[in-house]
Each structure stands twice: as C-alpha cells, then as structure tokens.
C-alpha cells in the first residue's frame, strides 16, 4: 500500500509539517509505504510558470498514480490553503485523485479559520476526483509546540486523540479499497466467457 504525503507550507519550520511527520510515522508502523513531498521541494520557477513537464511534477504525478491515498497538509493562509499548494495541485491532471482516499490536515493561528479546509481545499480535492475525502484534522498553533535544541515537538493530548482517530479511519478506508486484479489471473483461468 502506498500513500503520498504532500506538505503545503512554504515555511522551513512548519507545524503542519509536524502533523504530517507524525502521520507518516503512524502509517509506516502499520506497514504502509509513504513517499514525502513538500511544496518547497519543487522549483519555484516551475510552479510560477505552470510547467506541466517539470521533472519534479512528472515524478509527483507518477507517485500519485500508483498511490492508494494521500495526506495533504496546509497552513491556513488568508482564510484559505496556501497558494504554493494550489500551484502544485494546478499542475496535476484533472482526475489525478480518482480512486484515492485523501486525509486533509491543517494548522492555523486561529480556530476561527478551522473550516478553511472544508470550504477552500475540499472543493479542489473533489475537482481532482478524489474518491473519498475524509473529515480533516485542524490544529491551532497553541496545540503544537516546537521542540527546542533537538527535543521532539509537543502535541496537545486532545489533538493527538483526533489525529489518531483520523489516521485509523484513513487506514480503514485504504483497506476497503478494491484490490487490483492479479495480472496472471486470466492466463491461468480454466473457464471461458
């Protein structure tokens, strides 16, 4: 099983990325392979000029095509998701998320914008034909503290509980997906149609 993790924060030190890191570790403990992308990993020129043939974008598209699900994280910027994340999503084909389960994660300075993912990001995930977009997890900045001097980050217990529940739901949704047919099945079949 393969999950693509896409981090939408342009910031090097990023709370939304901490949510992603923790989620990736959780999924890996369940034996799920996770490949990681961040908006900062794409050349800015490729995004600004909408270069659909950018090798970085071609690679992302190939990984998404093979993936069962996606974790998409973003900070709230101006009551929406980040422009950098939109610039990446704009370079994906229209049906890029077809047959995929998506878990959105977001962080914001104010709880007043906790619905930004619902009214701003989810319509875009639907436009990309995501099969199932799960109820996302929002954390306000007070719920995630950076660890200083190499110490691990601290998450509020209530946030951890919501994140774990969302990941369990994501895992169940991944397991529910129909399995690809074995290529050799028809070759060995003993019946005719």
Ligand X SMILES: Cc1cc2nc3c(=O)[nH]c(=O)nc-3n(C[C@H](O)[C@H](O)[C@H](O)COP(=O)(O)O)c2cc1C
Could you list the residues that contact ligand X (CB under 6 A)?
9, 11, 14-17, 75-79, 107-110, 113, 141
Q: Which is nearer to ligand X, 15 or 122 (CB)?
A: 15
Q: Which is nearer to ligand X, 41 or 55 (CB)?
A: 41
* Cα–Cα distances in angstroms (integers) from residue 101 to residues 46, 104, 117, 128, in the given order: 27, 10, 16, 12
Q: Which is nearer to ligand X, 72 or 174 (CB)?
A: 72
Query: How many CB atoms sit inside 10 A of residue 166's CB?
Result: 20
Q: Which is nearer to ligand X, 5 or 17 (CB)?
A: 17
Q: How far is the CB of 24 from ligand X (least distance, A)?
A: 15
Q: How far is the CB of 10 from ligand X (least distance, A)?
A: 7
Q: How far is the CB of 145 from ligand X (least distance, A)?
A: 12
Residues 116, 106: contact at Cβ < 8 Å? yes
Residues 10, 39: contact at Cβ < 8 Å? yes
Number of helices (H), then strands (E), in the chain: 8, 8
Q: How far is the CB of 180 from ligand X (least distance, A)?
A: 34
* Cα gap 92→51, rounded to integer Å: 11
Place of tokens 């924060």: 9
The residue at minimum Cβ distance from ligand X is: 75
Residue 3: helix, strand or coil by DSSP?
A: strand
Q: How far is the CB of 116 from ligand X (least distance, A)?
A: 7
Q: Which is nearer to ligand X, 22 or 171 (CB)?
A: 22
Q: Which is nearer to ligand X, 54 or 74 (CB)?
A: 74
Q: How far is the CB of 61 from ligand X (least distance, A)?
A: 24
Place of tokens 């709370």: 15
Q: Which residues pair with 35 in a beta bridge?
A: 4
Nearest residue to 6 (alpha-carbon basis) of 17, 14, 15:
17
Place of tokens 């970085």: 56
């Amino acid at each position: 099983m393969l999950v693509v993790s896409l981090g939408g924060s342009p910031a090097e030190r990023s709370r939304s990325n901490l949510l992603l890191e923790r989620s990736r570790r959780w999924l890996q403990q369940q034996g799920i392979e996770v490949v990681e992308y961040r908006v900062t990993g794409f050349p800015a020129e490729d995004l600004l000029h909408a270069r659909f043939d950018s090798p970085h974008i071609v690679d992302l598209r190939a990984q998404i095509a093979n993936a069962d699900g996606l974790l998409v994280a973003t900070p709230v910027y101006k009551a929406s998701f980040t422009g950098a994340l939109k610039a990446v999503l704009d370079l994906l084909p229209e049906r890029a998320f077809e047959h995929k389960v998506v878990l959105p994660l977001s962080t914001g300075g104010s709880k007043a914008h906790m619905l930004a993912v619902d009214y701003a990001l989810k319509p875009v995930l639907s436009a990309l034909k995501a099969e199932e977009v799960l109820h996302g997890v929002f954390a306000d900045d007070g719920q995630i503290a950076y660890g200083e001097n190499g110490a691990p980050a601290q998450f509020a217990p209530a946030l951890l509980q919501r994140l774990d529940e969302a990941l369990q739901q994501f895992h169940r949704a991944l397991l529910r997906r129909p399995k690809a047919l074995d290529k050799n099945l028809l070759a060995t079949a003993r019946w005719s149609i």
